[in-house]
Amino acid sequence: MEKLIITAAICGAEVTKEHNPAVPYTIDEIVREAKSAVDAGAAIVHLHVRFDDGTPTQDKNRFREAIDAIKKACPDVILIPSTGGAVGMTAEERLQPTELPIEMATLDCGTVNFGDEVFENTMPMMRAFGKRMMENNIKPEYECFEMGHIDTILNMARKGEVPGAPMQFNFVLGVPGCAAANINNLVWMVNSIPAGSTWCVTGIGRHEFPMAAHAIAMGGHVRVGFEDNLFLEKGVLAKSNGELVAKVVRLAKELGRPVASSAEARQILGLK
C-alpha cells in the first residue's frame, strides 16, 4: 500500500474566526497554520486566501504573497490553490491563481447545491478551467461532490477538454445538498475512477475522521483542515490545523500506514 498523503485545507472561504478563533485571515496567520500542518505531517496544503478582514478573495497578488510566504517557511510543501473561490465569484475571478507558476490547482466537477446556496460549475466553465491548466502545465485535483461528477470529468478527459491520466480526485462527502459521507458512496466513487488514478477523501464536519479512517484502510489519501471541520472531537475546537493533521497521523499509525513526505507525495502524484 502506498504511503499516506495528508492534505491540510487550512482556511477555506466560508469559516470565520467567530466559528473558531484560530481560522487564519492574514498572511502571517496563513503561514502559521500551513507550518503547523506541515510540521504535524501534511505533505500538501490546499490554499484559499483572505484579505486581512477575513473577506475571501481570488486575487492573484494575494495568492502570490501567501504562496511565497508559505514556501519560505515550508520549502518542500506541495500547494494546491483553490479555483473554487467562494460561492458567487465569476470564472474569471476564480481562475486568477492559475496565472501563477503553480504545480496543482483544484478543478470542481459540476454545479451543486451548497447548503442554501448554489455552487456553479457549468460545462463551459469547466472547459475553460481545463484549457487553462493544460496551457500552464498545472495538474488538477478533481473535486467531486456527487457520483455524476466522475462520469462528467472522465468524459471531458476523453475529449481532451481537461488533463487526463494520471488523474488525482478528491471526493468531498457530507456537504449539505451533495452526496452523503458514508462508506457506500466512497467505495462507489473509488471503483468508478480509472486504474492508475490517485484519490483522497474529504469528510465534512463530524464526518472528517470517520472518512479519513476509511480512506487510510482502503489505500487512499486524506484531506483535513479548518475549511472542512473545526473540531478535534465533539465539542472541542481544534487549536490549529496541525492538531487535525496529527490526529490523522495517529490513525494512520494505528492502521499501519506510513505517512508520505512532500517529496514522496510528488512521486505518488506524478508531479515533475
Which pLDDT tens digit goes with each residue over 154-174? 999 999 999 999 999 999 999
Of all residues in the chain, the percent with pLDDT exceeding 90 is 97
For residues 110-116, average pLDDT: 93
pLDDT surpassing 90 at residue 272: no
pLDDT of residue 1: 82
Q: What three-state secondary structure class fits 49?
A: strand
Within a domain: 92: yes
- Alpha-carbon gap, residue 206 to 108, rounded angstroms: 23
Q: Are 225 and 243 in contact (CB under 8 A)?
A: no
For residues 207-219, average pLDDT: 98
**Choice between 272 and 230, residue whose per-residue pLDDT is larger:** 230
Nearest-5° Cα angle at 88, 101 to 160: 50
Within a domain: 198: yes
pLDDT of residue 117: 92
pLDDT of residue 220: 98
What does the pLDDT look like over 232-250, one tens digit per residue?
A: 999 999 999 999 999 999 9
Q: Are 109 and 142 in contact (CB under 8 A)?
A: yes
- Alpha-carbon gap, residue 85 to 227, rounded angstroms: 12
Q: Which pLDDT band holds residue 48 (cuts at 50, 70, 90)?
A: very high
Q: Which pLDDT band holds residue 51 (cuts at 50, 70, 90)?
A: very high
For residues 16-31, average pLDDT: 98
Within a domain: 1: no
Q: State the sign of the Cα–Cα–Cα–Cα dihedral 104, 98, 131, 173.
A: positive
Within a domain: 64: yes
pLDDT of residue 241: 98
Within a domain: 16: yes
CATH code, domain carrying 102: 3.20.20.70
Within a domain: 127: yes
pLDDT of residue 199: 98
The domain total for the chain is 1
Domain range for 56: 6-269
Within a domain: 56: yes
Within a domain: 102: yes
pLDDT surpassing 90 at residue 115: no
pLDDT surpassing 80 at residue 212: yes
Averaged pLDDT score across all residues of the chain: 97
